[in-house]
Amino acid sequence: MLARDALTKCVVQLSGTLEGASGGDAGSVLKSTVVQLRRKIKKLDRLIAEALKGDARLSGLSEALTGIAGVGVLSAAKVVALVPELGTLGRRRSAAIAGLAPFTRDSGRCKGKTFISGGRTEVRRALFMPATVAIKHNPVLRAAYQNLRKSGKAYKVAITAIMRRLFAHMDAVAAKWLRETAAAASSAASTALP
């Protein structure tokens, strides 16, 4: 997943450089490099899909997570890869792990701004796009986002709150999947015994 992210960053940087280039040989070299990088990204996507199919736990977890409106295959795979303890966290711990827990800067009568800090930045980055998609396609998260915006919260504050809710929901879905898988395995083991 990290290799794919690195290649994606390179494509974005080179595309920006390509827009500023004034054609000629430099422009054609940049264009061919971008095309090659995009091919490599597609190849990595296939490898990620094969890795998911090869591991029953990863495959089942990512399939369960993609059932959430807004979460795609790559986002689910990235979260599963970055948070192996997914499904055992709980709401508060999941917010802390993703670095989405709010911290206040209050002292005495002075009320400071609330901010987020710490956690796994890659998880936070992996949650941003699913959260933006979820506020359009997930009715529960859309309503929560609209309520936050109506109450005067800034876009970044509202999207961070949605990211936190989405990650907590992903953890709950993963926990349910783990419980069901364990129950199915134990019932299969008990029926196999004479």
For residue 108, report the phi and psi dihedrals to the nearest 5 degrees: 60, -125
Contact 120, 99 (CB under 8 A): yes
Q: Which pLDDT belongs to residue 27?
A: 77
Provide the pLDDT confidence category of residue 119 given band limits of 50, 70 and 90.
Answer: confident
Q: Which pLDDT belongs to residue 177?
A: 92
Q: Which pLDDT belongs to residue 22?
A: 64
Q: Which pLDDT belongs to residue 145?
A: 96
Q: List the helix and strand counts (H, then E) for the chain.
A: 8, 2
- Give dist(CA 66, CA 163) in Å, integer: 15
Q: Which pLDDT belongs to residue 13?
A: 86
Say which range, 53-67, 103-117, 137-151, has the weakest mean pLDDT.
103-117
Give CB contacts under 8 A, 24+ apart, made by 49-56: 49/73, 52/77
Provide the pLDDT confidence category of residue 1 given band limits of 50, 70 and 90.
Answer: confident
pLDDT, tens digit, 9 for 90 and up, residues 11-41:
888 888 777 766 677 778 888 888 899 999 9
- Indicate whether 61 pLDDT > 80: yes
- Give dist(CA 106, CA 77) in Å, integer: 38
Three-class SS state of 87: coil
Which are the contacts of 94, defined by CB distance < 8 A and separation ≥ 6? Answer: 164, 167, 168, 170, 171
- Indicate whether 194 pLDDT > 80: no
Mean pLDDT of 53-70: 88
pLDDT, tens digit, 9 for 90 and up, residues 146-183:
999 999 999 999 999 999 999 999 999 999 999 988 88
Contact 116, 102 (CB under 8 A): yes
Three-class SS state of 136: helix
Which are the contacts of 75, defined by CB distance < 8 A and separation ≥ 6? Answer: 65, 126, 127, 129, 130
- Give dist(CA 135, CA 90) in Å, integer: 22
Is residue 104 within a helix (H) or strand (E), and if so which, with residue range? Answer: strand 102-107
Q: Which pLDDT belongs to residue 142?
A: 95
Is residue 193 within a helix (H) or strand (E), and if so which, with residue range? Answer: none
Instruction: Please give the mean pLDDT across all residues of the chain.
Output: 87
Mean pLDDT of 141-145: 95
Mean pLDDT of 102-126: 82
DSSP one-letter string for 49-66: HHHHHH-HHHHHHHHHHT
Contact 174, 58 (CB under 8 A): no
Q: Which pLDDT belongs to residue 135?
A: 94
Which are the contacts of 74, defined by CB distance < 8 A and separation ≥ 6? Answer: 4, 45, 48
Provide the pLDDT confidence category of residue 127 given band limits of 50, 70 and 90.
Answer: very high
Provide the pLDDT confidence category of residue 189 given band limits of 50, 70 and 90.
Answer: low
